[in-house]
Structure 1
Amino acid sequence: MTNVWMTRLHEFTVVLYALSVLLYFFDFLQHNRKANRIAFWLLVFVWVLQTGFLIFYMFQTGRFPVLTISEGLYFYAWILVTFSLGINRFLRVDFIVFFTNLLAFFVMAIHAFAPMEYHSQVMAKQLVSELLFIHITMAILSYGAFSLSFVFSLLYLIQYDLLKRKKWGTRLIRIADLNSLERLSYILAIIGVPMLLLSLILGLQWALLKLPGMPWYDIKIVGSFLLLTAYSIYLYLRTVKNLTGKKLALWNVGSFLIVLINFFLFGQLSTFHLWYS
């Protein structure tokens, strides 16, 4: 009975999420501040529900919920909503919440309507480890930082296009200036890269202890190091080569595609990353 109730509540949360995203989209097109305010408070309510689910699940399982595919997706969506609300509160960057939560809604929808896992819960109990917990948590946090970095680069490209085509108007004014968007994207990448590196180090250390026969050419490991390389190149281009502008933003967008592939695809193809992405 509890599982049915929780499922319905999750579905209700996704509906509220969808309404919030639609209202943000309406504001993006029509510059409607009332729609923006309603969308914001709907999103705050969604965040409260998500946080409540996380706390409930922690009490139910006795651990932090990040050890399965479903849990990883949920925590990833929660991170995106939390970061976007924080940025909206302290930096007041218009449209950041819309683009970030468009991505988060996609993740939540996958979580809510995906088939139930029938083997991962048992496996998760067997694999509980502080080392593994820190590894997964830091990886998801780094994905959250990369996601927001991507959103800022996407806004940069939109603003760049509007300026190039001389499309003066409310939308141009509401999007932050190019320098601010590029700086915020860069700062978030700086946060994400060391977190991902530490996550990989801890993950490899855990694997050496628990899975001595693990294949090191596993697609998830290769994908994670490819992701780290892509964002390290991004930082190198920005810091050492002083590359700025549209080319750097496009590199960041391309790097984020690796995040999506690594999170959603490589985790499923991995021979041992079967309980989380």
Structure 2
Amino acid sequence: MVTQDWLTDAVLYIYALSLLFFVSDAASGNRSAKRVGTGLLVFVWILQGGFLMALLFDRFSVPQLTIKDYLFFVSWLLVSVSFILNRLMRAELLVLLVNVVGFAVLALNLIARPQHNVSLQPWEVARRLLIVHVGFITLAFAILTVTAVLGLMYLFLHTRLKKKKWTHVMHRMPSLEWIDQYAYRAGLIGVPLLLLSLSTGTAALLTEGTIADLLDGKVLLSFAAGIAYAVYLVRRLAGKDDGSKLAGWNLLGYSFLVIGFFVNSDSSFHQMV
């Protein structure tokens, strides 16, 4: 067993198997492989959903969230987003990449150190604000992950086209205009959720009177991500930059989020020890 829990092991193995079928479809256009992969992914989604229902029931009255719980929810959201993308856009390669990220999040979480906690302090008002904050930041992170994947796809395709190096994989990719458009649309959803999470988190700190925590490394990186994403949306709306520069702003904001998530040594805010 990879982990000490049969449910998480089952999810991990079935998820990996589904990705193999999706890779087969992306490489050779094998429709039957896609159907099998989709069926397995639905099963993964159901298992993850069952885990999350049990988690919500168990955590309902306990203001504590483990890293394992948080990343499991992020992975479940990415699977859900991939179903929506596959239904609305029929973008097989994008669905595959989103699920690769979701699998990486899940595998890193389960194989690494699942017992460590992110404690939500039991202040009456501040605690409720922090719960809302965690909900917003989780949704934002899932959606902005899709935005980042689209940004990476844009830079890859743009670079290959500029160098006139056409490959079979590029036949499976949407156009640069399509990628830019949907990255922007995803950003229009994810960035407001990120800003809402920052506002509720700030309100919780002010309510508790721990204003000094606003200078915490994780908080500052989250605000830096919000600024980078705001610049991305404004410049995209104003048409100030070309697509590659916009993708750079997009990935810069996501990088701040990821770095902030793993910063521990100097952080006292939602510290992971």
TM-score over 0.5 (shorter chain): yes
**Is the CA contact (8 Å cut-off) linking 1:18 and 1:105 kept in structure 2?**
yes
| Alignment root-mean-square deviation, CA | 2.7
TM-score, normalised to structure 2's length? 0.87
TM-aligned CA deviation for residue 84 of structure 1 = 1.4
* CA offsets 1:204-252 (integer angstroms, 9 cap, x no match): 1111223536432111111101111111111122122432322222332
Give 2:271's match in structure 1, choosing from 266, 270, 274.
274
Distance 2:115 2:168 in 1: 47
TM-aligned CA deviation for residue 148 of structure 1 = 0.6
Distance 2:215 2:121 in 1: 26
Give the match for residue 155 of structure 1: 153
Task: Say whether 1:126 aligns with 2:116.
Answer: no
**Helix, strand or coil: the match of 1:216?**
helix
Distance 1:64 1:33 in 2: 46
Amino acid at match of 1:126: P
Mapping for residues 51-200 of structure 1, pairs under 5 Å: 51-62=49-60, 67-117=65-115, 120=117, 123-124=119-120, 126=122, 129-166=127-164, 171-200=169-198
Amino acid at match of 1:69: I
Give the match for residue 7 of structure 2: 9
Mapping for residues 162-241 of structure 1, pairs under 5 Å: 162-166=160-164, 171-212=169-210, 214-241=212-239
Change (3 A) 1:50 1:217: same
Which runs of 5 or more structure 2 residues have no equivalent in the other structure? none
Give the match for residue 36 of structure 1: 34
TM-aligned CA deviation for residue 73 of structure 1 = 1.0
* CA offsets 1:177-225 (integer angstroms, 9 cap, x no match): 2211100001111111111111111111111223536432111111101
**Helix, strand or coil: the match of 1:67?**
strand
**Helix, strand or coil: the match of 1:18?**
helix
**Is the CA contact (8 Å cut-off) linking 2:120 and 2:270 kept in structure 1?**
no
TM-aligned CA deviation for residue 111 of structure 1 = 2.1
Identity %: 33
Distance 1:178 1:60 in 2: 45
Task: Say whether 1:253 aligns with 2:251.
Answer: yes
**Is the CA contact (8 Å cut-off) linking 2:15 and 2:44 kept in structure 1?**
yes
Distance 1:226 1:15 in 2: 37
Distance 1:179 1:172 in 2: 14
Change (3 A) 1:66 1:125: closer
Change (3 A) 1:170 1:114: closer
TM-score, normalised to structure 1's length? 0.86
Distance 1:66 1:141 in 2: 18
Distance 2:216 2:199 in 1: 16
Q: How many residues align?
A: 269
* CA offsets 1:138-185 (integer angstroms, 9 cap, x no match): 011111111111111222233334444555676434322221110000
Distance 2:159 2:187 in 1: 23
**Helix, strand or coil: the match of 2:92?**
coil
